[in-house]
Amino acid sequence: MTDFQTEKALVLAHYKALTDALPDTATAQLSKHTAPDWDWRGVDPFNEQTGVQAIADVFWTPFLTAMSRVQRRQDIFIAGLNEIDGFKSVWVVSMGHLMGLFDQSFLGIPPTGKIAMLRYAEFNCVENGKITRTAFFCDILHLMRQAGVYPLGPQTGAHLIQPGPATHDGLLMTAQNPQEGTETLRLINSMVGDINESHSFTTPQQELARCWHDDMIWWGPDGIGATYTIDRYIEQHQRPFRTAISDRVFNGHICRLAEGSFGGFFGWPNLTVTPTGGYMGLPPTKRPADMRVVDMYRRDGDKLAENWIFIDMLHYLKIQGLDVLDRLQTLNPKR
């Protein structure tokens, strides 16, 4: 059993290289700790890329051009063996915000000249001393809201800069008791099983109470928002989602792991759903759409206490007929 310290050190060195990167040095800095055939997945419009040059061109160079003085403000940093491939590969997970001064346009989003916080979660697979695979999820809708060009109507939950764990202990820089991670992963899997068997429970409260504390916090992505307590989660997310969505198909995960009291997963896509009731204020399309999702969790004792969610909203909305960035360009052609 590995303690993941070598893999964590590599990813931290990768992040240090990015901290020192400028737009014209991003490719060289990214090359230091990644494999030549680095496989990278990002939310729309970045999508799937291979190799450092493509990854720099599609995300990091434009981002570092738009944002100056970027800081990585991590809230969760963990590593573990991937349950999906039989606990063979090692992945390092980071979650937090990339903070910078929003000084130039990014994806057509107008600059503010102020602090901007790009909320992110990133999964990095480390093999033979290099990062070989990455999933980078960020909340583009949240950045648009900060710039005053939010494209959707009111959301059911609250809009917030999502904080890290209430316990302020999500940065696991040292080796952890493996039994704690095993228990966290077991609880996450039990919770996912309850979702898939939700029809067998009398009430949503009964379903959620099995794996969640009553004062659970669900830190949802922009477009949905955050909710607090089981009852408000049901009112402000679960019920709107389940009543406005049909034919939900679970496609599985690419990585699922836990360390200590923290764990999470991502899929590509996790779900395929059919909006039939106007989900997120959009007209019902009855058009199946994929949801690429990251979920991160904090366990407190024998139940889950917090959940941070990232959804590739632009990809989902594009399938529903709303190309958010294209619409932004149409409304602001000079940007």
CATH number at residue 279: 3.10.450.50
**154 occurs within a structural domain:** no
Read off the pTM: 0.96
Task: Say how many CA atoms lie within 13 Å of 182 toward its Cβ.
Answer: 4
**330 occurs within a structural domain:** no
Is 321 found in the same domain as 197?
yes
Rg of the chain on CA atoms, in Å: 19
Is 183 found in the same domain as 137?
no
Is 205 found in the same domain as 311?
yes
**14 occurs within a structural domain:** yes
The pLDDT assigned to 281 comes to 81
Distance, CA of 273 to CA of 262 (rounded, Å): 28
> What secondary structure letter does DSSP report for 64?
H
H or E segment and range at residue 308: strand 303-311
* Length reported for the chain: 335
Is 66 found in the same domain as 24?
yes
Is a pLDDT exceeding 60 seen at residue 1? no
Is 203 found in the same domain as 84?
no
**260 occurs within a structural domain:** yes
If one counts every other C-beta atom within 10 angstroms of the C-beta of residue 271, the result is 18
Q: Which two tokens stand for residue 311?
A: 């959804």
Is 199 found in the same domain as 255?
yes
Is 277 found in the same domain as 235?
yes
> What secondary structure letter does DSSP report for 285?
-
The pLDDT assigned to 221 comes to 96
Looking at residue 91, its amino acid is W
Partner residues linked to 117 by β-bridges = 99
**155 occurs within a structural domain:** no
- Over the stretch 183-237, which tens digit does the pLDDT of each residue have? 999 999 999 999 888 888 999 999 999 999 999 999 999 999 999 999 999 999 9
Closest CA to 119 of 294, 257, 266, 259: 294
What is the count of structural domains for the chain? Answer: 2
Is a pLDDT exceeding 90 seen at residue 160? no
User: Is the separation of the CB atoms in 74 and 11 below 8 Å?
Assistant: no
Phi, psi for residue 125 in degrees, rounded to 5: -90, 125
Is 92 found in the same domain as 185?
no
Is 197 found in the same domain as 320?
yes
**157 occurs within a structural domain:** no
> What secondary structure letter does DSSP report for 51?
S
Is 121 found in the same domain as 63?
yes
Going from the C-alpha of 316 to that of each of 109, 140, 218, the distances in angstroms are 19, 13, 20
- Over the stretch 109-120, which tens digit does the pLDDT of each residue have? 999 999 999 999
Is 186 found in the same domain as 124?
no
Q: What is the mean pLDDT of the chain?
A: 95
In this prediction, residues 126-135 reach a mean pLDDT of 98
Give the whole-number percent of the chain exceeding pLDDT 90: 85
Going from the C-alpha of 44 to that of each of 49, 141, 286, 309, the distances in angstroms are 12, 11, 22, 16
Q: Which two tokens stand for residue 139?
A: 């909340």
Is 127 found in the same domain as 184?
no
**58 occurs within a structural domain:** yes
Domain of residue 203, residue span: 178-325
**194 occurs within a structural domain:** yes
Is a pLDDT exceeding 90 seen at residue 153? no
User: Is the separation of the CB atoms in 178 and 268 below 8 Å?
Assistant: no
